[in-house]
Amino acid sequence: MNKIHDCIINRNSTFIPVWFMRQAGRYLPEFRKIREKNQNFIELCLNPDLVTEITLQPTKRFDLDAAIIFSDILMIPHGLSQNVNFKKNFGPELGDLDLDKIINITSEHFINKLKPVYEGIRKVRQTMKGDTLIGFAGAPWTLLVYMLNKKSPKNNFNINTITNNKVFVNKLLKKIEDSICLHVEKQIEAGANVIQIFDSWAGLLPENELNKYCYIPTLKVVEHIKKLKTPVICFPRGIKKNYINFCSIVKPDCINIDYEVDPSWIKKKIKETTIQGGMDPRVLLTEKENIKKNVEKYLQVFSDYPYIFNLGHGVLPETKPEAIEYVIKILREFKK
C-alpha cells in the first residue's frame, strides 16, 4: 500500500506517514563512507549504482514510508552546462553564466547529460516495487538565485541584481521552468511517483515580487506535474503568512511547512491541501524528552487532518541516526 498517495490523494487522515528531507545524507556514517571515496559530488550524483545504494540507505535503517532519490537541485544548472562544484566547508560554487549558450541547449542535450539520474531512479524502482519514491527539483526562483549568485545567497544576496536585469532574467527564468518540467517528467517516466519542489530561498523575495518570481513560475511547473497524474508537494520556505496565498494560487496537492509556521494556524486556514513537515530540525539535536514533546505537538495538531510527518527543513549533518529512529517510534506508538 502506498501510504503517501493515500494521504495526499485520498486525504486519508487515519494514518500519518513519515519521511525526512535530506534523509539520505551526511548524518549517516554509511553515506560518509561512500562520500569519502567520491570527492566529486556531481559525479557521485551521476553514478546510478551509488545513487541507488545511497537512496536506499535510510530505508534499510528506518521504518520510513518513502525514499527520496539521492541527487541535488543543482543538477539542473549542470544539465544546462553551467559549471557546478561543491567545495568542502563552503557549499556549492557555480561557474560563469552564458545566457546565449544556456538558451540554446536542446532538450536532447539536457536529458543526455542527466541520463544517469534517471537510470538511478529506474534501479531504485526495481527494488522498491510499488512503494513511494520521491523525485524532486528546485523551484524556478531558487534555481535562478543559485545560477545568478553562483553560490549560496545566505550572506550576500541583493534582490536588485535580479529586478534590475528584467530582460535577461525573464529569458533565463523561462529556460529554467522548461528544464524543470523536462527533468521531473523524465524522473516520473523512470519511476518516481511523487514530486517535491524545493523553493529554499522563496523567503528572500519581498512580498510584492512573490507573484512574479515564486507563485506564477511554480504554478507552471505544478500544472505540468498534475498533467502527468503525479502528486506534487511544494516547499516555499520562509514565506510566512503567504503560505496561504501560495496554496490558493499554486494549488499543490501537498504543502511542506517550515518551522516558522504555526501548525494550528495553517490547519485552520487551509482546507484542500495535505500538509507535510514543520518540526525544527534542531529539535533532533536535543534530549529525548524534548524530541517527544515536539513530535507529539505536530501529531496532536494534525490528528484529524491529512498530514505527512517530516521536518521544517532538512536533517542537519550533526543529527544522530538514533534521533530519527526515536521520532519514528513515537509516531508509530502515538494514540490519538
Give the nearest distance from C-beta 46 to ligand CP3 in angstroms. Answer: 13
Asked if residues 79 and 143 have their Cβ atoms less than 8 Å apart, the reply is no
Please report whether residue 23 would count as binding ligand CP3 according to CB under 6 A.
yes
330/175 Cα distance (integer angstroms): 44
Contact 35, 299 (CB under 8 A): no
114's enclosing H/E stretch is: helix 107-128
Residue 271 beta carbon to ligand CP3: minimum distance, rounded to whole angstroms? 27
Q: Applying CB under 6 A, does 21 fall inside the site for ligand CP3?
A: yes
Whichever of 263 and 277 has its CB closer to ligand CP3, that residue is 277
Q: Looking at 12, 13, 38, 152, which residue binds ligand CP3 (CB under 6 A)?
A: 152
How many residues belong to the chain?
Answer: 336
The amino acid sitting at 8 is I
Among 57, 179, 200, 310, binds ligand CP3 (CB under 6 A): 200
d(CA 98, CA 79): 14
Choose the binding region for ligand CP3 from 24-32, 179-187, 204-212, 266-274 (rule: CB under 6 A).
24-32
Window 64 to 93, contacts with ligand CP3 (CB under 6 A): 68, 70-74, 86, 91-92
Site string for ligand CP3, 36-55 (x = CB under 6 A): -----x--------------
User: What number of CA atoms fall less than 13 Å from residue 191's CA on the CB side?
Assistant: 21
- Shorter beta-carbon distance to ligand CP3: residue 59 or 273: 59
Vertex 300 angle, CA 295 and 303, to 5°? 120
Cell of 59: 530505508
- Rounded to the nearest whole angstrom, what is the least distance from the CB of residue 50 to ligand CP3 in the complex? 12
Quick check: 278 and 261 in contact, CB under 8 A?
yes
With CB under 6 A as the contact rule, the residue among 27, 110, 198, 213 that binds ligand CP3 is: 198
Interface with ligand CP3 includes 282 (CB under 6 A)? Answer: no
Residues 306-325 that bind ligand CP3 (CB under 6 A): 314
For residue 300, which of 290, 292, 288 has the smallest C-alpha distance?
Answer: 292
Task: Check residue 24 for interaction with ligand CP3 (CB under 6 A).
Answer: yes
3-state class (DSSP) for residue 195:
strand
Contact residues: ligand CP3, CB under 6 A: 21-26, 35, 41, 68, 70-74, 86, 91-92, 136, 152, 198, 200, 314
